[in-house]
Structure 1
Amino acid sequence: MTTAQPGSGPTVRRILLGSQLRRLREEKGISRETAGYHIRASESKISRMELGRVSFKERDVADLLTFYQVTDEAERAPLLALVREANTAGWWQNFNDVLPTWFQPYVGLEESAQLIRTYELQFIPGLLQTEDYARAIITQGSVGAPVEVIERRVSVRINRQKLLYRKNPPRLWVVIDEAALRRPIGGPKVMRAQIEHLINIAPLQNLTLQVMPFAFGGHAAEGGAFTILRFPEMDLPDVVYLEQLTGSTYLDKREDVDRYMEVYNRLSVDSTTPASTPDVLRRIVNEY
């Protein structure tokens, strides 16, 4: 039975617990409707539990385990412990007032990922932004928002970056389109500092940084920005994250993930090498 790896956040623990409950239910040939009736809940609640989209009550999980004939304490204990861990609040939940509900699951998945691959077309990725660059982007996208709201959103973005420097950090592999480096967000001074920041962090052992140059012409990822998350838990599939103006999409079907992986692999081959990327960045920063 799979358990959460050290460092896994509550989001992944909920997904793990839900997947285990779904496996146990299916092994017994029990429908979601029947399982829901047993704990005085709806079929849709069982579905949300199994997808890890809601919090869990320990009593509900204990009742479901009994219903699924999991009576051995050695089997029950890890799952019930997972309930308590899954209900632990992540740091980002202190910012619920300024974070869109559709973005909060991503922060939890990002915290738990072992490998993050991202391609950005328009902006420097959030995990690599300076505070001033982040503030400029957030201010532009939050017209009319109070200053305190903007500052709390900036705090979330900067707090997310701490995972790169923690013990056992994830590996971050970034391909940035040259357009994002030449778009003067916040003005020349902010952009110069942002690109210098990229040059300074490029040597990080857990960071692979590449640039998709204009000179290459058309490329595999013209459909837009995307992120692929991989987790240390073998039971969890890779997840593709796509963000829109008012929402987001999470893809975990094998055929969808494979397609994005193919695109990312082509991007990484066609972009600057990690070794040559700092020189490319230095040429660009000198133009600001």
Structure 2
Amino acid sequence: MSAQAQLVSPLPLFERRPDMGARAMSRVLGNHLRALRESRGLSPAAAGSHIRAHASKISRMETAHVSLKVRDVDELLQLYGVGDEERAQIARMVQRAAGPDWWQSYGEVVPDWLQALIGLERDAHLVRTYETQFVPGLLQTVAYARAVVDSGHRLAAAQENARRVELRLERQRRMAEPGAPVLWALIDEGVLYRPVGGNEVMREQLQHLLDVLRQPGVRLQVASYAASAAATPGAAVTYLRFAQGFLPDVVYLEHMTSAVYLDRLDDVDRYRAALDELSALAATPADSRTILEEALRRYR
């Protein structure tokens, strides 16, 4: 079987996922373009020359770091030997991928380094998160989120921070929709005793986490001080796991003013192993309930 015959077209995937976000769609298309190019034995420079561009543009197209243009994609597909019918279908997908994503209406409060996470998380199969400072954003109450946002953006206008909270709540809403990914959250025990927003805010937040334990789409574990010391990824981490054949898994590491995205297999495997080890040492969901109830009594 030829290399080209082994390639899997992304079109069936798009048909199964008509609600796929523009960011995920761009990455799927980019991966397919790279697979086609490599199957033809062409370098990025050779492909770039065909569309009157540098090799760097081909690399950015294949990694979804630049918006795809129908003309560029079609010329590359012709170079790669793709037939007319499939080229026309992919052109329609490129147009969809160029459309606005829902979060762009919050563009004024979404930094560049956060866009990929927001654009991809809803299309994941599983979202794993480990937090050492705060309750994960996808599990925060309104009051807790407001306290975290106000603390992290002290110089911002109140209206801007209100928009940041709205964005967080909208992400939560979308993660609760049918077909949304499972959320597996690991929370460092110290988070429960960090009085963000005061006692009333913490009471509400901890009660919300207790309620979350009953939700079928969420797995919540508390990592004790001992567990966190024995096995930790080193800092807060979000791991996006995608269904097989969809996209490579992505690890997201957030800093104060930037973020790092990792998708190399060896990097991803190391973080998955660290999360697996920490999950094994952390309290079970049932035992986590007991820990949460004990923490809640502190704020009575």
Q: TM-score range by the shorter chain?
A: over 0.9
The structure 2 residue matched to 1:57, chosen from 57, 69, 78, is: 69
The structure 2 residue matched to 1:183, chosen from 189, 194, 198, is: 194
What is the SS of the residue equivalent to 2:156?
Answer: coil
Equivalent residue number for residue 238 of structure 1: 249
The structure 1 residue matched to 2:173, chosen from 158, 162, 169, is: 162
Shift of the alpha carbon at 1:214? 2.6
Shift of the alpha carbon at 1:147? 0.6
Matches within 5 A, 1:66-81: 66-73=78-85, 75-81=86-92
Q: Which runs of 5+ in 1 are unaligned?
A: none
Matched letter for residue 165 of structure 2:
V
The structure 2 residue matched to 1:212, chosen from 204, 215, 223, is: 223
Q: Retained in 1: the 8 A contact 2:228–2:278?
A: no
Change (3 A) 1:151 1:51: same
Shift of the alpha carbon at 1:72? 4.0
Equivalent residue number for residue 212 of structure 2: 201
Shift of the alpha carbon at 1:276? 2.2
Aligned residues: 287
Q: Which runs of 5+ in 2 are unaligned?
A: 1-8
Q: Retained in 2: the 8 A contact 1:199–1:281?
A: yes
Equivalent residue number for residue 48 of structure 2: 36
Question: For 1:252 and 1:47, how far apart are their aligned partners in 2?
Answer: 15
Equivalent residue number for residue 19 of structure 1: 31
Question: For 1:130 and 1:103, how far apart are their aligned partners in 2?
Answer: 21
- Percent identical among aligned pairs is 45
Question: For 1:170 and 1:42, how far apart are their aligned partners in 2?
Answer: 38
Matched letter for residue 80 of structure 1:
A
Shift of the alpha carbon at 1:42? 2.4
Give 1 or 2: higher helix fraction. Answer: 2
Matched letter for residue 179 of structure 2:
N
1:211-242 Cα distance to aligned partner (Å, 9 max, x none): 01235462211611111111125142111111
Shift of the alpha carbon at 1:78? 3.5
Deviates more, 1:220-229 or 1:104-113: 220-229
Matches within 5 A, 1:119-134: 119-134=130-145
Equivalent residue number for residue 5 of structure 2: none
Question: For 1:252 and 1:86, how far apart are their aligned partners in 2?
Answer: 21
What is the SS of the residue equivalent to 1:137?
Answer: helix
What is the SS of the residue equivalent to 1:119?
Answer: strand
Q: Retained in 2: the 8 A contact 1:163–1:170?
A: no
Shift of the alpha carbon at 1:277? 1.8
Which segments of structure 1 move beyond 6 Å, counting only runs of 4 or more? none
Question: For 1:250 and 1:217, how far apart are their aligned partners in 2?
Answer: 23
Q: Retained in 1: the 8 A contact 2:188–2:228?
A: no
Deviates more, 1:232-241 or 1:21-30: 232-241
Matched letter for residue 22 of structure 2:
P
Equivalent residue number for residue 4 of structure 2: none
Shift of the alpha carbon at 1:17? 0.3
Normalised TM-score (structure 1): 0.95
Q: CA RMSD in A?
A: 1.5
Question: For 1:121 and 1:60, how far apart are their aligned partners in 2?
Answer: 44
Question: For 1:24 and 1:108, how far apart are their aligned partners in 2?
Answer: 25
Shift of the alpha carbon at 1:37? 2.5
Matched letter for residue 197 of structure 1:
H
1:169-225 Cα distance to aligned partner (Å, 9 max, x none): 211101100111111111111111111111112111110000012354622116111
Question: For 1:222 and 1:229, how far apart are their aligned partners in 2?
Answer: 15
Equivalent residue number for residue 45 of structure 1: 57
Q: Retained in 2: the 8 A contact 1:11–1:109?
A: yes
Question: For 2:198 and 2:187, how far apart are their aligned partners in 1?
Answer: 19
